[in-house]
Amino acid sequence: MNEQRLKQIKRQYDELQQRLQEPGSWQDPALFARLQRELQELSPVAEAYAEWENTERELLNLEEMLSDPEMKDIAWEEKQELLKQRERQAHTLQLLLLPKDPNDGKNVIMEIRAGVGGEEGALFASDLYRMYSLYAEARHWKIEVVNVSETELGGIKEISFVVEGDSAFSRLKYEGGGHRVQRVPVTESGGRIHTSAATVAVLPQVEEVDFKLDMNELKIDTFRSSGAGGQHVNKTESAIRVTHLPTGLVVECQDERSQYKNKDRALQIMRAKLYEREQEKQHAALAAERRSQVGTGDRSDRIRTYNFPQNRVTDHRLSGEGRSFNLESVINGGLDPLIDALTAADQAEKLAEGEMAE
């Protein structure tokens, strides 16, 4: 535990509290709002450190009681409890000091594509979209479909959608990669278990202040929507295709009836994709992991397996008994236990890296 850094944060926290009491801060709304934001960011660490310091003081006070024969046994038991408490508090502080992902508070752009397995792969992609929709609903997030290509049996070849909600990226960022399913498809008459796959990509939604698009590098085309929509589909060229000429990246948006809205959403997705590419350049060590999100769609390219006959979901990034979850719960949007386990594993890895660095 880095006590020097903790003391520095505590000093900054105390100074911010003082500044917020000064008349000059009240008279400047922008300054007051900025100071409040900074205080809010530091408060979890400052408060946790204050609790740790209080436990330290209690332990020191017990030393005197331990030398008293009449109080020794009681003091010893209390000391053991305080030592456990201090250990928990120290672990919490270590987690709070981990570098924050700057994208954690952002909304999310997700893309799901059917992989191998033909129609069954498309039906599985549809199941994944339903799973994320139910999860978003449970967390009171909003989902907005940008583009979807469906099959005759109700499967999804490809879908792009935006998830808007508090800290959406921090929860969904672990979903990127290959997802594999093992089950008897509805298209199978012989009752045989098939293995199919779909891929999921997760991108933070970035604003213009984060990444500015050069409109001179974009080619924007309009076309008629190919999805459901009655006469509107045949009469209105509201769908938008945006091509980034230097990279060849293409984004289509046809879900909205308004050409303006489709264009705005397509530019948002293009910005997110280009921002992701820029991040890869800046963080070369993480590039392979980020590029691997979409994968090949092959059965062997997977982060997670959904085994229907055994009612089990296995996340291959986790180890031991903690890698398996109830499939019925997960596929119906109960992703929190799985995501919590991935978050804890990620934190443990970062803590281990920090200890090695020290």
| % of the chain with per-residue pLDDT over 90 | 42
Instruction: Please state, in angstroms and rounded to a whole number, the distance separating the CA atoms of residues 304 and 326.
Output: 13
Sequence-distant contacts of 325-331: CB under 8 A, at least 24 apart:
330/131, 330/306, 331/127, 331/130, 331/131, 331/306
Task: Read off the pLDDT of each residue in 203-208 and give the average, rounded to a whole number.
Answer: 78
Task: Read off the pLDDT of each residue in 6-16 and give the average, rounded to a whole number.
Answer: 91
Task: Read off the pLDDT of each residue in 140-166 and give the average, rounded to a whole number.
Answer: 92
> Which residue would you say has higher pLDDT here, 112 or 298?
112
| % of the chain with per-residue pLDDT over 70 | 86
Residue 340 is predicted with a pLDDT of: 93
Task: Read off the pLDDT of each residue in 299-322 and give the average, rounded to a whole number.
Answer: 87
> Which residue would you say has higher pLDDT here, 314 or 278?
314
Judged against a pLDDT cut of 70, whether residue 317 lies above it is answered with: yes
Task: Read off the pLDDT of each residue in 95-124 and give the average, rounded to a whole number.
Answer: 89
What's the pTM value of the predicted model, to 2 decimals? 0.68
Residue 352 is predicted with a pLDDT of: 79
- Model confidence pLDDT, tens digit, residues 340-356: 999 989 988 888 776 55
Residue 285 is predicted with a pLDDT of: 44
Domains and CATH numbers, the chain: 3-96 (no CATH), 108-209+286-357 (3.30.70.1660), 215-282 (3.30.160.20)
Contact 96, 45 (CB under 8 A): yes
Residue 320 is predicted with a pLDDT of: 84
> Which residue would you say has higher pLDDT here, 82 or 95?
82
Which of 65-74, 233-242, 290-299, 347-356 is most confident? 65-74
Task: Read off the pLDDT of each residue in 48-52 and give the average, rounded to a whole number.
Answer: 93
- Model confidence pLDDT, tens digit, residues 119-141: 999 999 999 999 999 999 999 99
pLDDT confidence bin for 290, thresholds 50/70/90? very low
Instruction: Please state, in angstroms and rounded to a whole number, the distance separating the CA atoms of residues 214 and 357.
Output: 40
Q: Are strands 249-253 and 156-164 parallel, antiparallel or unpaired?
A: unpaired
Mean pLDDT, the chain, integer: 84
Residues 351, 353, 356, 358: is their CA dihedral positive or negative? negative
Residue 294 is predicted with a pLDDT of: 52
pLDDT confidence bin for 277, thresholds 50/70/90? confident
Judged against a pLDDT cut of 80, whether residue 162 lies above it is answered with: yes
**Picking from 54-58, 135-139, 159-163, 219-223, which range would have the lowest pLDDT averaged per residue?**
219-223
Judged against a pLDDT cut of 90, whether residue 105 lies above it is answered with: no
Closest CA to 196 of 115, 128, 303, 126: 115
Residue 189 is predicted with a pLDDT of: 67
Task: Read off the pLDDT of each residue in 72-90 and give the average, rounded to a whole number.
Answer: 92
Instruction: Write the CB contacts of 123 (distance below 8 Å, at least 6 apart in sequence).
Output: 151, 153, 154, 155, 185, 186
- Rounded to 10 deg, the angle between the 72-96 and 29-66 helix axes is 150
